[in-house]
Chain A
Amino acid sequence: SFELTQPPSVSVSPGQTARITCSGDALPNQFTSWYQQKPGQAPVLVIYKDSERPSGILERFSGSTSGTTATFAISGVQAEDEADYYCQSADTSGSVVFGGGTRLTVL
């Protein structure tokens, strides 16, 4: 199997851009997805295939990848964006792995 590493927390002021990284040696050969989870709720897919947004997801949300690091960004952060964010990838054996999650705090 493989591992994905995220920072435990990121803090940003309203209106700024928040960036959350996800690192893993397998990422150059696999796609990364991102999920938003608010307290007491199920996660919601916000980015798939590194940078694609599902229908209904705000344009403020974006994803990119470079080498072994995938990055999720929220531009013009708002209080409602405060949540836990998880990266996820799948390998050729069929295994799915999640990063440890990052808590985004809007100051």
Chain B
Amino acid sequence: QVHLQESGPGLVKPSETLSLTCDVSGSSISSNYYWGWIRQPPGEGLEWIGTVYHSGTTYYNPSLKSRVSISVDTSKKHFSLRLTSVTATDTAVYFCARETGTNIVTRVIDLWGQGTLVTVSS
């Protein structure tokens, strides 16, 4: 059974960099899947952050593109998120996820991690 698990600091100071890792078990990270990050501020809706294909090709939310970097490490079976210059508005539950689809337009999120709360505060 495929499982995704987020890990990383639960508290980040303003202006610093948020870094999270998602460990993939039960599936090859080099399969024809996309691997993505989605966040959800407390009491609010879902926001897609970005996606990486196993080849390293990335797609980012235009509103976050200048601060986001997503990478994949196939040897370690994980993918990572970096979000720079964080502020209180970046406080959210961060989900890692697997996206599946025959092409980028047909992508759907068929598997989610449990999510991890990251709070931005001094």
Contact = CB atoms under 8 A, between A and B. Distances in A.
Interface of A: 1, 30-31, 33, 35, 37, 42-45, 48-49, 54, 86, 88, 90-101
* Chain B, interface residues (CB within 8 Å), range: 20 to 34
Given A94-B51, A95-B59, A95-B61, A43 B46 contact: yes
Contacts, number: 68
Nearest to A52: B108
B49 to A, nearest CB: 9
Interface string B25-37: 0000000000010
A23 to B, nearest CB: 15
Contact of B106 (A31, A43, A98, A101): A31
B114 interface: yes
